[in-house]
Structure 1
Amino acid sequence: MLVSYEWLKEYVKIDDLTAEEVAEKLTRSGVEVDIVEPLNKGVSKIVVGKVVACEKHPEADKLNVCQVDVGEEEVQIVCGAANVAKDQFVVVAKVGARLPGGMKIKRAKLRGQVSEGMICSMQELGYEGKLVAKELAEGIFVFPTDMTPGEDAIPHLNLNDYVLELDLTANRADCLSMIGVAYEVGAILGREVKLPDPEWTEGEERASDYVSVNVDATGDNPYYGAFMIRDVTIAPSPMWLQTKLMAAGIRPINNVVDVTNYVLLEYGQPLHAFDYDRFGSKEILVRRATEGEKIVTLDDTERTLSTDYLLITNGRDPVALAGVMGGADSEVQGDTKNILLEAAYFNGSTVRKASRELGLRSDASARFEKGVDPNRVKEAGERAAALIADLAGGTVLSGIVEYDSLDRQQKVVTITLEKINNLLGTTITSKDVREVFNKLKFVFEESEEGEFTVHAPTRRQDLKIEVDIIEEVARLYGYDNIPTTLPNTPNTPGGLTEVQWKKRKLRRFLENAGLHEAITYSLTTVEKEVHFAEERHRVKVAQPMSEERSTLRTTLLPHLLEALSHNKNRNINDVHLYEIGTAFYTEEETVTKQPDEKTLVSGAFMGLWHEHSWQGEKKAVDFFVVKGIVEGIFEELNVKGEVKFVQGEPKGLHPGRAAMVTVEGVEVGVVGQLHPAVAKVLSLPETFVFELNLHKIFARESRDVRYDPIPRYPAMDRDIALVVDEGVQAEDVKQVIVEFGGDLLKHVALFDLYQGEHLNEGKKSLAFSLRYLDTEKTLTEEEVSKVHGKVLVGLEEKLGATLRS
C-alpha cells in the first residue's frame, strides 16, 4: 500500500510531524513502513506557463517556436513535442531550473532560434511513464484546467509530497485504505480522524425506474447496490485527483474511472462504473457462471469460465467478473453519458479463486480477498456518486437499488485485565487499557471485576479472539514499554545439534578454501537432471508455480551449473560455488507418503583457481584441486575409515577424469570433470564438480583426536622409484608400502609418475618418498634398511614392483 503523506493530512492532523516521523511511529506500532519516498527527484524553479503563441520552426519540421507567459515575463521556448499548442497551460522549467538527475536548464540556441527554458513532460519531472495518462505519455504535460501563469508548479503537481510504502501483513486489510491508515495514525497520536461527508443533490427521477437488482448467488454476494448517474461528461480529472492517484501508483484514465479508483484507495472498497447505455438491459443479475461460459474482460482478453466464478450479468450476458475485472462491452468511454455505479460486497474466497485461476490480480481483488468493511460498502458508493456528480457534471438519481442480506454485526470479544498482563508480562492498569481502546475508537464496557467486553469495529476484520485484542493493547501501549522477561520454562541450555555443528564446520572450511555458498531452488524438472541422475521415480508437485519448478530435486548439481552459466554469460569466468542442501527420493510411482530426504554437499568450479598477476602465475582448476578440497572435507569432519577415490564413470562426468568417493568401501559421492557433451549443452568451459552424501558421512563415527608430541629424534627419508604394470594404481602401491612399513614408517607420498623412454611397453614408474621415525630413540641405518627391505620385498611379491635402475 502506497500512502501519500499530503493526502493523509486531510484525515488526521499531522502537520507537526514529518513523513519520516509518521513512518517511524507506524513501524513501532506494528504497521511496517519499508521506505519513505520523496516525489520530488531534485526538481526546482518550475512554474506554470501559458502558451500564447506557437509557430513551426523555420528551419526544422519537428520543432515549434513558442511564446510562453511565465508570469513576470514572456519567454521564447523551442519545443519538439507534437502536442504543444496555443492557449495551453504547461509546466515550464525556467533558465536555472533543475530537473531529475541534476540536469540544469540553460539558455540555448536551437537551429538559430533562442530557447529560454523548457516545456516539460511528466516523465522529465520524475514521474514513471506507466503512471502518466495515455494521451500525455508521448508529449508535454498540459494542465486540464486554467491556471495562473508564473505560479510555482511543484504543489500543483504534488511534487512536494512523500509516499510511505507499507509492508502489510495479511491480517491488516484495514490499512489498504487511506481512512484505515488515518485511524491507525490517529490511534498512535491520540488524535481525531476526519471522515469525508459526501453531499449531492438527488435528481427527481428514481434509480429504480432504470435498473433492478437480483442476486442468485446470495452466499457469494450478500450485498449489491446500484447508483444511477445521468448526463455525465467524460473528461480528464482535475490535477488534485490525478496526482493523488499517481502517488498511489495508479494511472489516471478519466474523471469517472478515476473517482472509482480514488474511492477504492480512500475507503478500501472496490467500485465499478458501467456505461448504462452499453449495459444491454435494465436488469442486474448476479449469478455463478455456467461451465464453459466466456467473457471478454477490460484487457480485451476472452476468458473461459467455470461454475466457481461469480458474474455480474445484464440478465442474459456477463458484463463483469465480480470483484476482479469488468467486461469490455460495458466499459466507460469518451462518449459515455449515463453511469451505472456498482458498490457490492463479494465473498473473499470466491474472488480469490477466480483471480488466481485466471491470473487476474488487481487492487480490487486483493481487497475483497482480505475482507472489506461491510459498513462502508454503501458509504463508498455514496462518496463516489457525489464526486462523479461534482467532477463529471452528472445528476444522481434518487434512491439506491440494492439487494441486502449482509451481516454488519460487530464481533464481541471479552478479555480480562489479568489475562492481558499475564500474556504480556506487564502491570498495565485498567486506565491504560481504557486509553488504548479509546484511541482505537473501540466501543467497550468494563465490569467491576476488571473484565472488558470489546465491540470490534467492522473495519477491523482481523479482531476475532482474545489474543487479537491483547495484541492491540500491546501495540498501542508500546512494545518498547513491555519489560524483558525470561520464558516461564525450566532452564535448558541452548546449543547446536551434532549435525548442525558439522554443517557449520563444513561451511567454514569451504569458504576458507575459497568457495562461495549458493542457495538454489529445491524444485526443478526431470529434464535438468537427466545428465546426472539415474532413471527413478520422482516426487512431483501437485500445483507447481511453473513447469520449471514441477519436481523435487535428486541432485544439487544442475542448479549449481546454471549459476556458473549465469556468471559466464556476464563475463565472470572464475567462479567456485558450493551448496549444502536437501535432495528427495521415492520408490513410489505415485507418491503417497513423505519422500526420503538426504542432505548433500556439492561444488562446481570453472576458470582459474589461483592467479598472481605480478608474478605471472596462473593455475586453472583441475581434478586435483577439487580432489584436494574433497579430501579436506573428510579431514575437517574427522571421518573415521579409509577414504578412497576409485576411478569410474559417474553419469554426467568425463569418463577418464572422474572418480567415485568411498569410505571403507561404501560409496558416498563423486568427483570429476563435467562431461564435454554436458558442458557444451550448458555453454560452459572445462568445469569440475563434486557431490557428497552428507547423510552417509555424518552417520559414520568420528576418529578419536589424538595429539602426538613434537619428535625429539631425527627422521630418515628414503626415495624409491618403482616400475609396475601400467594398470597398477598408485593408491594400491601406497597401501602395500604402509602395510610392510610397520610402526616406523610415518609418511608416504607420491611425487613422480613417468612413462616413456627407457621403460618397457605397458610399464610405468612411480616414485615415492618414505619417512621413517622412532619417537623413542634415534634410528640407525641398519634398522631403517631392514624395514625398507621388507617394503621392497612386499611390493615385489604383491604387485610385481621392481626398483627402477
Structure 2
Amino acid sequence: MLVSYKWLNEYVNLEGFTAYVLAEKITRSGIEVETVEVLNEGISGVVVGHVLEREKHPEADKLNKCLVDVGEDEPVQIICGAPNVEKGQKVAVAKTGAVLPGNFKIKRAKLRGEESNGMICSLQELGMEGKLVPKEYAEGIFVFPSDAAVGEDALTQLNLDDHVLELGLTPNRSDCLSMLGVAHEVAAILSRGVKYPEVSVETASEKASDAISLKIEDKEANPHYLAKVIKNVTIAPSPLWMQTRLMAAGIRPHNNVVDITNFVLLEYGQPLHAFDYDRLGSKEIVVRKAKQGEKIVTLDDQERELKSDHLVITNGIEPVAIAGVMGGANSEVQADTKNILLESAYFDGQTVRKASKDHGLRSEASARFEKGVDPNRVVPAAERAAQLMALYAGGEVLNGAAEEKSFEPSPAVIQIAAEKISSVLGMEISTDDISSIFDRLGFESKQDGSSFTVTVPTRRGDITIEEDLVEEVARLYGYDNIPSTLPVTKTTPGTLTEYQVKRRKVRRFLEGAGLSQAITYSLTSREKASQFAMENSELTPLALPMSEDRSVLRLSLLPHLIEVLRHNLARQNDQVAVYEIGSVYLSGGKENQPNEKEHLAAAITGLWHFHQWQGEKKAADFFVLKGILDGLFEKLGLNSQIEYVQSKRDGLHPGRTADVLLNGQIAGFIGQLHPSVQKENDLSETYVLELDLSILMEADEEKAAYTTIPRFPSITRDIALVVNQKVVAGELKSEITAAGGKLLKDVSVFDVYEGDRLEAGKKSIAFSLKYLDPERTLTDEEVTKSFDKVMKAVSEKFGAELRA
C-alpha cells in the first residue's frame, strides 16, 4: 500500500511528525514501512509557465520555437520537441539552472541555431513512471489546468512536494488497504482523532430504483449489492489534485468518473465500478454464477471463458463484469458516456480469489475483496463517489439506490481481563492504560472492575479473539516498553546421539580421503528411480510433481551422483570423487507414508591422487574405491566383520562388482559402472558404491586391542598359486589362514596374473605369508612345517599348484 503523506494529513493531523519519524513509529507499532520515497528528490527550479507563442523551428521540422512566460520580467524562448505543445498552454518549465532527476542540469543552449533558455517538461522528465502518466500526456508534455498560477512551483502544483510511504502489509491487515484505515492506525499511534470526509449529496426527485432493478441469485457469494444512478455526467479529465493523488498511490488516471471510483477505493477501501448505464442493454442487474463456458471481454480487451463457480454481474442476459475482479468492455465508460450506474457491493473473498486466480487477473478491487473489506462501507463509499461525480462530472444523482441485502454485519464483541493481558505480556499494565489504548484504536469498551467488554468495529476484521486484543495492547503500548527477561526453565546440554557421532565420523573420513560432498534431489524420474536400487520396492509418486523429471521419490543415490560426475567432466574437471549421505524411500503402500532409509553412496572417475609413481597420477580403479571403503570400515571398527563377495547387479560390470557383507548380511555393493552405462553418460572408467548406512551404524564396534611391539623378528614367505580362474582369492586366503596355524599372523594378496604363460582357464594368485612368535625367534624348520600344511590344504581343496 502506497500512502501519500500529504493526503494522509487530510484525515489525521500529522503536525510535528515528519514522514520519516512517522514511518519509524508505524514500523515500531507492527506494520513495516518498507521505504519512504521523496517524490521531488533531486529536482529544483521547475515552475508553471504560460506558452505565449509557438511556431515551427525554421531549421527542424520536429522542433517548436516557443515564447514562454515563466513569471519573470521577460518571457523566455524555449525550443521544445513535444508534439502536443500549443499556444496558450500552462506547462511545467525547468528554468536555466534547474536540476532534474539524475542530476541533469538545465543550461542555456542553441538548438539548430536558435537559443533555448530552459526546458518544457513531461511528467516522465520530472521523475514519474511512464505507466502512471495519463495516456493523453504519455508521449508529450503535461498541460496544467488553465487556472494554474504562472511562476508558481510546478512540483507543488503536481503534489510532487510529497513523501510516499510504502507499507508492507501482512494479509490480516487489510484494513490498512485504504487511506481511512491507515488514518485510524496512525491516529491510534499518535493519540489523535480521525477526520472523515464530509459527504452531502443533493439528489433529484427521480428514484434510482425506477431506473434500475436488482436481483441477487447467489446471496452467499454476494450478500449485499447497491446500485446508484448518476445522470447527465460530462466525461472529462479529473481535477489535477485527484490525478496526482492517484499517481502517488500507483494508479494511472483515466477520466473523472473512473478516477473517482479509484479515488474512493483508495480512500475507503471499498471497490466500486462504474457502468455506462446506456450501454448495459437493459434496466436490470442480475448477480449470478456464470454458466460453464460463458464468455466475456473484460476492460483489458481480453476475451475470457468463465467457469460455473465464477460470480458475474449481468444485465439479465449476458455478463457485464466478473464480480470483484474486472468490468466488461461492453459497458465501459467512454468519452460519450452520459449516464452512470455505480456499483458498490460486498463479495465473498474466496469466490473473488478463485475467479482472479483462474483468469490470472489481479486488480486493486480483487486484492481487497480477497483479504476482506469492511461490509459497513458499502453505502458510505457509494455516497462519497456520487458526491464527487456530482461535483466534478456535473452529474445528477438519482434519489436512493437499488439495493439488496441479505445480512446485517455486526461488530465482534470480546471479553478480556486485564490480568490476561498482563500474564501474556509478562508485565503489569494498568487498566487505565488498557482502556486508553482501546479508545485510541476506536474500539468501544466497557469496564467492569479489571475486565473489559470490547466492541471491535467491522473495519478490523482481523480482531476476533482475546489474543488479538492482547497484541493490539502490546503494539500500542510499545514493544520497546515491554521489559526483556530471560526464560526460567530447566536446560539440557545438547549432545549428539551415537548415530550422529558415527555419521559425522563417516563424513569426515570420506572428505579426508579426498571425496567432496554432494547434495542431490530426493525427487527423480520414473526411469531413474529404480536404477541401482538395493531393495525391490514400488515407486512413491508425488501428488503434484514439479515435472516428469521430479515426479517420484528415489530408491538409490547413485543416479544423481552419476549426473554430478557428468556435469563436472563436461566442464573439464577430469578428476571427480564425490559422496552423498541421503535418504531413499521405500514404498509403504497406498495408505502409508514411505519408509525412509539413510544410504551412503560414492563415485570416482578420472585420474586419482592416492598413489603416485614418479609424479604421475593413477587412474581410478576398483581397488582405489575398495581401499577407501576398507579405511572407512577400519575407522568404524568393523573391519573383521566385513566380507566382499563377487556378485552381478544391473548397471554394473559383471566381473568387477562385489556385495559388501556385514556379518553375513548384505549392507551394500561396490563395483564399476557397466561400459554401456559409462558410454551413455560420457564417462570413462567409473567406480561406485552404495551402502545402507543404518546397517553400519547399528553394528557393534570392535573394541580396540593393545598389541605389544614384537621383540623377535618375523619370517615372510611368498607363494604364487596356480588355480582355476573361477577360484576366488578371498576363499584361498581363508583356507591359507586356517591351515597356517597360530604362527601365521598375516596373509595378503600382492599379485594376480592371467596370461600366455599359463594354461588356458588358469590364473596365478600371489600371497605374502608372515610368521611370528612374540615369545621367541622362529626356526626355518617350524616355518617350513607350517608352510607345507598350507600347500597341502590348498592343493586338496582347490587343486592349487606352486607356480614355477
2: distance between equivalents of 1:195 and 1:40? 26
> Pairwise mapping of residues 264-663 of structure 1 onto structure 2 (< 5 A)?
264-448=265-449, 450-483=450-483, 515=516, 518=519, 520=521, 526=526, 529=529, 537-542=538-543, 582-586=583-587, 588=589, 591-599=590-598, 641-642=641-642, 649-651=649-651, 663=662
Q: Secondary structure at the residue paired with 1:349?
A: helix
- Residue 223 of structure 1: how far off its partner (Å): 0.8
Cα 1:604–1:95 shift into 2, 3 Å: farther
- Residue 452 of structure 1: how far off its partner (Å): 1.1
Q: Secondary structure at the residue paired with 1:379?
A: helix
1: distance between equivalents of 2:785 and 2:101? 87
Cα deviation, 1:183-219, whole Å, max 9, x if unaligned, reads 3333233333333334444345432232122212222
Cα 1:311–1:121 shift into 2, 3 Å: same
Cα 1:159–1:490 shift into 2, 3 Å: same
1: distance between equivalents of 2:154 and 2:386? 32
- Residue 124 of structure 1: how far off its partner (Å): 6.4
Matched-pair contact (CA < 8 Å) for 1:626–1:688: no
Corresponding residue for residue 151 of structure 1: 153
> Pairwise mapping of residues 636-785 of structure 1 onto structure 2 (< 5 A)?
641-642=641-642, 649-651=649-651, 663-664=662-663, 666=665, 696-697=694-695, 700-701=698-699, 703=701, 706=704
Cα deviation, 1:556-602, whole Å, max 9, x if unaligned, reads 677788899999999999999877655544364xx333333344566
Cα deviation, 1:294-320, whole Å, max 9, x if unaligned, reads 433344444444443322111122222
Cα deviation, 1:420-455, whole Å, max 9, x if unaligned, reads 33333322222232232222221111112x211111
Cα 1:551–1:461 shift into 2, 3 Å: farther
Corresponding residue for residue 183 of structure 1: 184
Cα deviation, 1:84-131, whole Å, max 9, x if unaligned, reads 77747357596784644x777788888888887777666666665555
Corresponding residue for residue 259 of structure 1: 260
2: distance between equivalents of 1:571 and 1:23? 54
1: distance between equivalents of 2:55 and 2:330? 40
Matched-pair contact (CA < 8 Å) for 1:518–1:577: no
Cα deviation, 1:345-395, whole Å, max 9, x if unaligned, reads 112233333334444444433332332211222222233333444444434
Cα deviation, 1:14-64, whole Å, max 9, x if unaligned, reads 46455555444444433345x3253669744473575764647947x7x53
Matched-pair contact (CA < 8 Å) for 1:374–1:406: no
Cα 1:155–1:722 shift into 2, 3 Å: farther
Cα deviation, 1:131-178, whole Å, max 9, x if unaligned, reads 5556666x455356465568354883748534434151x433323333
- Residue 282 of structure 1: how far off its partner (Å): 1.1
Cα 1:761–1:332 shift into 2, 3 Å: farther
Corresponding residue for residue 210 of structure 1: 211
Residue identity matched to 1:311: V
1: distance between equivalents of 2:518 and 2:167? 32
Matched-pair contact (CA < 8 Å) for 1:131–1:252: yes
> Can you give the 5+ residue segments of structure 2 that lack an aligned partner in the other structure?
610-614
Matched-pair contact (CA < 8 Å) for 1:245–1:262: yes
Residue identity matched to 1:597: E
2: distance between equivalents of 1:75 and 1:156? 24
2: distance between equivalents of 1:258 and 1:155? 18
1: distance between equivalents of 2:418 and 2:258? 49
Q: Secondary structure at the residue paired with 2:230?
A: strand
2: distance between equivalents of 1:587 and 1:745? 51
Bigger drift between 410-419 and 617-626 goes to 617-626
2: distance between equivalents of 1:546 and 1:605? 29
Cα deviation, 1:511-555, whole Å, max 9, x if unaligned, reads 8867466575x6665467587779965444556677776655556
Corresponding residue for residue 613 of structure 1: none
- Residue 230 of structure 1: how far off its partner (Å): 2.9
- Residue 645 of structure 1: how far off its partner (Å): 9.1
User: TM-score under structure 1 normalisation?
Assistant: 0.76
Are 2:166 and 1:164 equivalent residues in the alignment? Answer: yes
Residue identity matched to 2:153: E
Matched-pair contact (CA < 8 Å) for 1:144–1:237: no
Cα deviation, 1:449-504, whole Å, max 9, x if unaligned, reads x2111112211212222222223223333344445567687766665655666667
Residue identity matched to 1:403: E
Cα deviation, 1:682-717, whole Å, max 9, x if unaligned, reads 9x8779797857673476235256486996979989
Matched-pair contact (CA < 8 Å) for 2:76–2:117: no
Are 2:197 and 1:196 equivalent residues in the alignment? Answer: yes
Cα 1:704–1:536 shift into 2, 3 Å: closer
Matched-pair contact (CA < 8 Å) for 2:23–2:165: no
Cα 1:177–1:756 shift into 2, 3 Å: farther
1: distance between equivalents of 2:623 and 2:96? 69
Bigger drift between 13-22 and 632-641 goes to 632-641
Cα 1:749–1:373 shift into 2, 3 Å: farther
The aligned length equals 788
2: distance between equivalents of 1:74 and 1:717? 113
Cα 1:210–1:190 shift into 2, 3 Å: same
Matched-pair contact (CA < 8 Å) for 1:608–1:620: yes
Cα 1:539–1:314 shift into 2, 3 Å: farther
2: distance between equivalents of 1:791 and 1:8? 104
Matched-pair contact (CA < 8 Å) for 2:529–2:552: no
Residue identity matched to 2:228: F
Residue identity matched to 2:694: K
Cα 1:180–1:782 shift into 2, 3 Å: farther
Cα 1:161–1:801 shift into 2, 3 Å: farther
Matched-pair contact (CA < 8 Å) for 2:215–2:404: yes
2: distance between equivalents of 1:125 and 1:777? 100
2: distance between equivalents of 1:301 and 1:431? 58
What is the alpha-carbon root mean square deviation over aligned residues?
5.6
Q: Secondary structure at the residue paired with 2:342?
A: strand
- Residue 402 of structure 1: how far off its partner (Å): 1.2
Matched-pair contact (CA < 8 Å) for 2:13–2:192: yes
Cα deviation, 1:750-798, whole Å, max 9, x if unaligned, reads 8988888988887888899999999x78988979978996998588888
Cα 1:27–1:635 shift into 2, 3 Å: farther
Q: Secondary structure at the residue paired with 1:229?
A: strand
Bigger drift between 538-547 and 387-396 goes to 538-547
- % identical equivalent positions: 49
2: distance between equivalents of 1:103 and 1:763? 91
Corresponding residue for residue 63 of structure 2: 64
